[in-house]
Chains A and B, each alone.
Chain A
Amino acid sequence: MARYLLRRFVFLLVSLALASVVLFVLLRMLPGDPANALTAVGATDEQIAAARRSIGSDRPLPEQFTHWIGQLLRGDLGTSFVSSLPVGPEVGARLNVTVPLTLAAFVLAVLIAVPAGFLAAYRRRTWYGSLLSGVSQLGIAIPVFWLGMILIAVFALNARWLPAGGFPPDGWDRPGEAIRSLVLPVLTIALVMSASLIRYVRSATLDVLGSDYLRTARALGSSFGRAMWRHGLRNASVPVVSILGIELASTLLGAVVVESVFALPGLGSLLATGIAQHDYPVIQGVLFVSTLAVLIIGFAADLLQRIIDPRLRRGLSGGNR
């Protein structure tokens, strides 16, 4: 296990390094010039050159790259071209919104999806089993922004229970307000996410229900609950955990839509603004941090799967991924 951990950790570092190179190069290949975002429409060539000098985008690319990597190694994400503010604290401030939003939505989605998915499989021949299955099917088809708008219309515009959007400028210094402003976005993401999770939990449960080992356990006198608990749950968890990892990662990155609908100052809106302004340090900072988060989530999901399933530890079924 220690060797595996070490190998997995080295893999993470190598992935991160490769990702850094790719995102740096890709950004530079995009058309457009960050100096444009700084200068007015009628700027002279002289003004544009001055803007380039001031942000250092006139330097050769390898020099810019080593400069950026050097900063990264010192734990510094650089300085925004446009606002002249350091990117690190900026990303940190946005994570204060995005991380609670993503995690709360994720936990809620799991709390909804696991029992619902299990019921949909176990009681698939009853009316509510079919209903659950049908609703989740429908849920997958619902666009997240649409659901967000519906929730705003119902709970904010009509009932006036919750704010329609925005985040208190004082942030978590006002925990009550901050939580209130996250309720609807969390609900939006959780509902959409749980719809697809229900499908996975349902099919994983169906697999288990039809499995030989469960039948054997039952034949040996184990009660259904006990057989499910000892054998079923563990087996069903393995595919679900890997899906959970992917869902969590994509929610983190996909929060941009929900952040826009609810006017939340999260990581996604920072990225969108950064892209619009060709603010390379900001884009790089956001993508670097989210790449890191995705890699760590993947790492954690892998690790969890190995803990759950001893066969993976022995490398019998496709071991070291």
Chain B
Amino acid sequence: MSIKKSSLYASATAVTLALTLSACGGATTTGSSSGGGHDPDATVNIGSLYEPQNLDNTAGGGQGVTEALNGNVYEGLFKLTDDGEVEKLLAQDHKVSADGLTYTFTLRDKVTFHSGKKLTSQDVKYSLEKVTAKDSQSARKANLGVIDSIETPDARTVKVKLSKKSISFVYQLSYVWIINSEARDLKTSEDGTGPYRLGKWTRGSALSLDRFAGYWGGKAANKQVVFRYFKDATALNNALLTNAVDVVTSGQSPDALDQFRNNPAYKVNDGDSTTKLLLAFNDKAKPFTDVKVRQAVSAAIDDKKLLESIWGGHGKLIGSMVPPTDPWYEDLTAIDAYDPERAKKLLAEAGLKDGFSFTLDTPNYDPHPTAATFIKSQLAKVGIEVKINTITSDEWYTKVYKNRAFTATLQEHVNDRDLVWYGNPDFYWGYDDKQVTRWVEQAEQASTTAEQTELLKKVNRKTAEDAASDWLYLYPQIVVASTKLSGYPLNGLNSQFHAYDIKKG
């Protein structure tokens, strides 16, 4: 699981807490616009809404720290590319034992940290243990819980023993930064192995990265990267329009897009998103314990019209938790498609002929309030009364996520491959199906990805048929950049923004 907390969106004080729950990676599409000559000593200015809270991703750094530092300043044994492929990075080679329980990693030679110290297996052991430590605040702690022991036979070899098979283990390692074991004050400074070192962080305003001369790999295509932080999308767009920034990582509103689309100085890229907007029922709370009621609500809401009103033609409809870029995707939009007559029939079958009323806990930031109002008016037509209860992200976390004191809620789920959360009966939405739980477990223990895909397809179909949640739509993924720029990431998978290939001409 990883987090996307505190992005200041649209209004100055609204805080986004989007659930980013992941398991293992994947998505496709490549991005670059023009080739040609570029300035190898250029400074690339990146506009973002997500300033890091601190610089440590195991101590509450948030989404911003992943965006700025992942792959740029810190590297893992593996990396997740923008296409969703897992590639070797600091690991030159890795072997898995026949029983799938022992992973042996050989480290790349001649890698040095920014401080000048050489990378050794000790640093890898330290970095892994930092995540699994008892007081670790890492979002990856649970995922790496399968680690049983770590041995370092020599300076370039790391041997990791797992307590049980885990097909996503290597993928999880792409989230673990390899840090100098002697580094201190990681919340305010860094010591990684990436192509950039931290320049200057002016809190509330900007964070700069400078090309690292001693980098082990191919050097970055630009000399400096400056992340400039904004509190709202309008200010961000203005900065792009006045060339104060060259590219914006996020925060596009459909209204603002036209000014870029009709301007030859900018390119609007449509990438692949993995962010889903959910109407999440509490499957353990009445009346949503009844499958028919959940199906009725799903069938009563016109998702297409909702998407149109919020994103005006951008984005996609989905029929389940799985976005098209996940390997186990199937188009299930036909299940519980918009059909108010069927919704009424289902309600009658469930013994709720006269409808019912429920409270919808709605996060107070975009797009949730708009979606809630829309849902309220749609459900009113089939006799269901929705009481909208607006809450802050913090309240959502306590009331909905921790205490499960809710009937239904709205929430955006950001990550790819997060279908597996339906296999966890203790998750906030309370979906509990023994068969699904078993399939998810078997998928993680699978020996081949084909086997894993097959099992997760079953999970996908079953959860969709059970209307475990109502998946309203898939967000668009829009990156707007100056046409002078090329080589920037389009999909921003899991909030990463690798800047080293960006060319400015």
Contacts and interface: CB of A to CB of B under 8 A. Distances in A.
Contacts of B15: 276
Interface in B205-256: 205-206, 208, 226, 228-232, 234-235, 238-239, 241-242, 244
B231 A32 contact: no
B234 to A, nearest CB: 7
| Range class of the B interface residue count | 35 or more
B137 A40 contact: yes
Contacts of B17: 41
Nearest to A84: B187
A164 B13 contact: no
Contacts of A33: 394, 398
Interface in A233-269: 256-257, 260-263, 265-266, 269
A97 B6 CA distance: 23
Contacts of A39: 60, 137
A76 interface: no
A287 interface: no
A277 interface: yes
A40 B242 contact: no
A276 B8 contact: yes
B136 interface: yes
Contact of A164 (B136, B200, B205, B244): B244
B371 interface: no
A163 interface: yes
Contact of B13 (A44, A170, A262, A275): A275
Contacts, number: 157
A165 B21 contact: no
A53 B142 CA distance: 21
B141 interface: yes
Nearest to B200: A169
B241 A164 contact: yes
B255 to A, nearest CB: 13
A276 B1 CA distance: 22
A226 interface: no
A190 B266 CA distance: 35
A270 B3 contact: no
A152 B236 CA distance: 12
Interface in A49-98: 50-51, 53-54, 82-85, 90, 93-94
Interface string B321-351: 0000000000000000000000000000000
Interface string A1-19: 0000000000000000000
Given A163-B242, A164-B244, A263 B137 contact: no
A165 B239 contact: yes
A44 B133 CA distance: 13
Contacts of A277: 6, 53
Given A37-B53, A165-B244, A260-B235, 14 more contacts: A31-B398, A32-B395, A36-B398, A41-B397, A46-B134, A47-B136, A83-B53, A156-B242, A157-B238, A262-B235, A263-B231, A265-B202, A276-B13, A277-B53
Leading 7 A-B pairs by shortest Cβ distance: A265-B204, A40-B139, A38-B60, A164-B238, A50-B135, A260-B12, A42-B1
26 contacts: A31-B395, A32-B394, A32-B395, A37-B5, A37-B6, A37-B60, A39-B137, A40-B137, A40-B138, A40-B139, A41-B397, A41-B401, A50-B137, A82-B54, A83-B53, A84-B185, A85-B54, A85-B187, A163-B244, A164-B239, A166-B228, A169-B208, A261-B232, A263-B235, A263-B239, A273-B51
